[in-house]
Amino acid sequence: MSLELLTIKTVSRLTGISSHTLRAWERRYGAVKPSRSPSGQRSYSMEDVERLRLLKSLVDKDFTISQIADLAQEDLVQLATKEAAMTNQLAPSSTITPQLAVVGQELPPSGIQLSPGMNSNIVQTILNCLQDYKLPELNELLTRAKFTHGARDFALMVCGPLMRKVGQMVAVGEMDVSQEHALSALMRNQIAQVIQSLQFNPLALKPSFAFATIENDLHEFGILISHVLTLSQGLHTNYLGANLPATSLVSASRALGATHIVIGSAKLFPDWESNPLKSYLDTLDANLPSGTEVWVGGRSPVPTEDYKMGIRTFSGFEEFDRAIQELAERTPATRLGSPALQNF
């Protein structure tokens, strides 16, 4: 066999990606396009291997294959290089800087400190139930975790890791989309109960937050979890939901007197000019009242210096949670409700 043509078994060994996952990435996302023999056997080039290694390295960094599968090779190289540089720069004591901090539409970073035994027990048990479509048992586990952990930890340590893991499993064909949708429905109901249980005062002093995702972005869990984290600190919130046009967000924010706007944008784009987040932020920058802060979630780098409004970006929920805590500590008048309410 020529070194230029490799079987799927060889490619699996060279990349560390199972044959099943390779087929799923090709079939569902067009990640690579191997040639086929008359009998249908796949043959891969070394260029395919290089691309697959890049994709795997990014998936290992918590990207989803659906986000990156259609990126050009040079964009993958650039993204992988950037992620490697960020990993080398991060330390356990890293903190948010005033200029750059990222609300992650995607889920909490692996460095988050979990309660002892939680992630390995509750989350894995829930995943096992989901694999077997044991939805009543799964819902009972979510309810138990909600009451055991309280609002903040339920959002950070259960909801976030669960949605990230299930998204990864669906991407590689280890779980069906129907299972992801079932979990989403059950978890959305649980989060709604959490939000209803958190006491807040609609007349609370500023700051006041508004939450939305950009137009045509239906990925809602990032802003839902961020909403819970903000409520758990007693801050005033207004949840506007997913797929909100920029002009509508401006109108709502003005009417509500929002001082902070949290927006999520899940999809990656090769460059800033082609990213719909750019035009969205342009509209906000031109129309929001002076002094409004915009907090942006997702992995797209945002040139914050291009905007006159204040912009902060968050790479994960842990960073967002720290920022919310710091803000709440500076405005104690907004911290309403007894600690017991934070644990239902």
Do residues 280 and 256 lie in contact, with contact meaning Cβ atoms separated by under 8 Å? no
Q: What is the three-class DSSP state of 213?
A: strand
**pLDDT above 70 (res 157):** yes
206-228 mean pLDDT = 91
C-alpha 200/C-alpha 184 separation (Å) is 26
For 268-280, what is the mean pLDDT? 85
Where do you find CATH 1.10.1660.10 in the chain?
8-89
pLDDT of residue 185 exceeding 90, the answer is yes
Q: What is d(CA 51, CA 26) in angstroms, rounded to the nearest whole number? A: 12
What residues pair up with 313 in beta bridges, in sequence order? 296
State whether residue 54 is helix, strand or coil: helix
What is the identity of the amino acid at 115?
A: S
Q: For residue 85, what pLDDT is reported?
A: 62
Residue 161 has which token pair? 């890791």
Q: Is the pLDDT reported for residue 333 higher than 60?
A: no
Q: What's the CATH architecture for 8-89?
A: Orthogonal Bundle (1.10)
Task: Work out the average pLDDT over 218-241.
Answer: 91
The CATH number for 118-197, chosen from 3.30.930.10, 1.10.1240.10, 3.30.70.1710, 3.40.50.1370, is 1.10.1240.10
CA gap 62, 79 in Å, rounded? 13
**For 83-92, 245-254, 291-300, which range has the lowest pLDDT when averaged over its residues?**
83-92
- Asked if 127 and 166 count as a contact pair (C-beta separation under 8 A), the reply is yes
pLDDT at residue 137, as a whole number: 93
- The owner of tokens 């890293």 is 94
Per-residue pLDDT tens digits for 44-77: 988 888 899 889 888 888 788 988 999 988 888 8
The predicted structure's pLDDT at residue 101 = 26
Question: Where does the chain hold its CATH 1.10.1240.10 domain(s)?
Answer: 118-197
Measured at the CA of 203, the angle between CA 202 and CA 205, to 5 degrees, comes to: 115
d(CA 301, CA 313) in angstroms, rounded, equals 8
DSSP structure class, residue 6 = B
**Which residue, among 311, 103, 303, 319, has the nearest Cα to 220 in the 3D structure?**
103
pTM equals 0.65
Kindly report the average pLDDT of the chain as a whole number.
Answer: 81
Q: What percent of the chain has pLDDT over 70?
A: 82
Chain region(s) in the chain for CATH 3.40.50.280? 208-342
Fold held by 208-342: Rossmann fold (3.40.50)
Give yes or no for a cis peptide into 207 (omega within 30° of 0): yes
Residue 343 has pLDDT above 70, yes or no: no
